[in-house]
Amino acid sequence: MTYQQTLEYLYKELPMFQRVGPAALKADLRNTILLCESLGNPQHKFKSIHVGGTNGKGSSSHMIAAILQSSGYTTGLYTSPHLKEFTERIRLNGVEISQPEVVDFVERIKPQIQEIKPSFFEITVAMAFDFFARQKVDFAVIEVGLGGRLDSTNVIDPLVSLITNIGYDHKDLLGGTLSAIASEKAGIIKQNGRAIISERQPEIEEVFFRKAATVNSLLRFAQDRYTVARSAEEKDTFIVQQVGNSGSIHLKSELVGGYQKKNIAGVLAVVDELVELGYEISQEAIKKGIAETITLTGLKGRWQQLGEKPLIYCDTAHNAEGIIEVLKIIETIPHEKLHIVIGMVKDKDIDSVLSLLPKNATYYFCAASIPRALDAPALATRAAALNLKGKTINKISDAIKTAKSSANPEDLIFIGGSTFVVAEIEEL
């Protein structure tokens, strides 16, 4: 098969959550375990860091990988979903897995696919583990797909588990309360392991304490160790202070969203754990990794600037907590009129996001080209009930063109609402 034929096979033959939603999910880790066993359990052949949470897990994964690369370690990185190309999901020192590698893996395990009938995500996880093992990586940074306890990535035994934060996302699958969601995310805290929680959330801390005690894991909260603030003078700089230490360091970052301060604290705490375990990571490597995360790992779509006059930004935030952080950034940027190109998927808490959005912005309602997408007229109707007004333009590229033609040079255009909206931005 060619690469394109291989992708068509994966997309059509295997259930994919990004396209069809919960029907693609399996209720246990059986398929992943069987796949890994058939490959010689590659997940046990490299050291790993496991990263979960509701928001920030992608950025945190990329930052950790960039720091490890800057330290001279051969570093694998597994993230999901991809934005432009499937190969983005699996990287070695920032370089995407090659198309022939993808084809070869699928050809090799076709008998297992026919027998086990795994999901698309289960296959991609097995592919990543197999690739990292064969490349003999020093470390692999593995981002959780959804939840934690039953996520396909949760067959690794990581050196450190990082949970960025807990918010209301995928409530239909993970539970309707923060405690229930936290319990699922806490599933990546391992027996006799080490766990870092990026953000203290008093109402759910007991969930993590209880899980850590059950599995005899060391548990630390990053906020107890670091305070991180964004510099008022330099928007690409974060001021980091160790708790109990009067000194501070300035970290430049290509990830300029103010919400990254929470992620940076968690990332630094993970690095501390690795150093405590005996791995060499210098201050210079930390500074370089955070300063050059996008360059080193190819991260896209996190408060990314796409144009100026008018200013155009996109962000993959897709739940209430993420949108709140995006709106905080928008408030800090001088502009005349705000234009928002927005699309969402059906299984999100749509009204909770829409209710947060400013009523004085002009909206361009659109829909990603996936079955899960809420169609643009339906989104416009839901928005109108909350006094959000604008135009209904089904295709994302057309919605962006319309926003550009409608905006003045001093305006600001924001594109988001869903990872899949950002994925269809031609300029990305």
Classify residue 150: in a domain, yes or no.
Answer: yes
Residue 428 counted as domain residue: no
Give me the helices (H) in 26-98, please.
Answer: 30-38, 57-70
Are residues 373 and 266 part of one domain? Answer: no
| 311 domain residue, yes or no | yes
Residues 118, 50, single domain; the answer is yes
Tell whether the model's pLDDT for residue 106 goes beyond 90.
yes
**Does position 109 have pLDDT exceeding 60, yes or no?**
yes
Question: What's the CA gap between 82 and 160, in Å, rounded?
Answer: 24
Specify whether 249 is located in the same domain as 352: no
| Residue 24, pLDDT score | 46
Is 33 contained in some domain? Answer: yes
State the pLDDT confidence band at 417, using cuts at 50, 70 and 90. very high
Residue with tokens 């050196």: 159
Distance between CA atoms of residues 112 and 102, nearest Å: 16
Interval 26-43: pLDDT, tens: 668 999 999 999 999 999
Measured in degrees and rounded to the nearest 5, phi and psi for residue 76 equal -95, 150
Per-residue exposure over 36-67, b if at least 16 CB sit within 10 Å of its own CB, e if not: bebbeebbeebbbbbbbbbbbbbbbbbbbbbb
Summarised one tens digit per residue, pLDDT across range 219-261 is: 999 999 999 999 988 989 999 999 988 889 999 999 988 889 9
290 and 394: one domain? no
User: In this structure, is residue 278 part of a structural domain?
Assistant: yes
Structure confidence by residue, pLDDT tens digits, 348-380? 889 999 999 999 999 999 999 988 899 999 999
pLDDT at 22 over 60: no
The predicted model gives 203-211 an average pLDDT of 96
CA distances 161 to 36, 95, 274, Å, are 21, 24, 11
Residue 25 has pLDDT above 70, yes or no: no
Q: Report, as an integer, the average pLDDT of 7-14.
A: 87
CA distances (Å), 386 to each of 250, 324, 376, in order? 42, 17, 16
Average pLDDT over residues 91-112: 97
Of the candidates 245, 262, 297, which is a domain's last residue?
A: 297
Do the domain assignments include residue 128? Answer: yes
218 in the same domain as 352: no
Overall domain count for the chain: 2
Note the pLDDT of residue 38: 97
Distance, first Cα to last Cα, the chain = 29
Q: How far is CA 259 from the centre of its chain?
A: 13
Give the β-pairing of 412-416 and 338-342.
Answer: parallel
| Statement to judge: residues 345 and 278 lie in one domain | no
pTM: 0.93
Walk across the sheet containing 226-230 and list its strands: 226-230, 237-242, 249-252
Q: What percent of the chain has pLDDT over 70?
A: 96
Give the pLDDT score at 180: 93
Question: Rounded mean pLDDT of 302-325?
Answer: 94
pLDDT at 20: 47
Looking at the structure, do residues 23 and 144 belong to the same domain, yes or no?
yes
pLDDT the model gives residue 131: 98
Give the CATH number for residue 146: 3.40.1190.10
pLDDT at 233: 87
User: Same domain for 344 and 273?
Assistant: no
Asked if residues 54 and 60 have their Cβ atoms less than 8 Å apart, the reply is no
Query: Is residue 264 domain-shared with residue 153, that is, in the same domain?
Result: yes
How far does CA 283 lie from the centroid of its chain?
25
Last residue of a domain, one of 263, 297, 331: 297
Q: Are residues 79 and 175 in the same domain?
A: yes
Check whether residue 99 and residue 116 sit in a common domain: yes
- What is the residue-wise DSSP string for 245-301? -S--EEEE-S---TTHHHHHHHHHHHHHHHHHTT----HHHHHHHHHTHHHHH----
Which CATH number is 323's domain given?
Answer: 3.90.190.20
Q: Return the closest-CA partner of residue 140 out of 125, 152, 150, 151.
A: 125
Asked if residue 396 has pLDDT above 90, the reply is: yes
* CA distances (Å), origin 31, targets 21, 117, 158, 373: 18, 8, 20, 27
**Integer Cα distance of 8 and 207 in angstroms:** 41
Last residue of a domain, one of 245, 263, 297: 297
124-175 tens-digit pLDDT = 999 999 999 999 999 999 999 988 999 999 999 999 999 999 988 656 567 6
Question: Would the pLDDT of 322 be above 80?
Answer: yes
User: What residue type is 191 in one-letter code?
Assistant: Q
Residues 225 and 201 in one domain: yes
Instruction: Give CA torsion, residues 96, 97, 100, 104, to 10 deg.
Output: -160
Q: Which domain holds residue 120?
A: 3-297
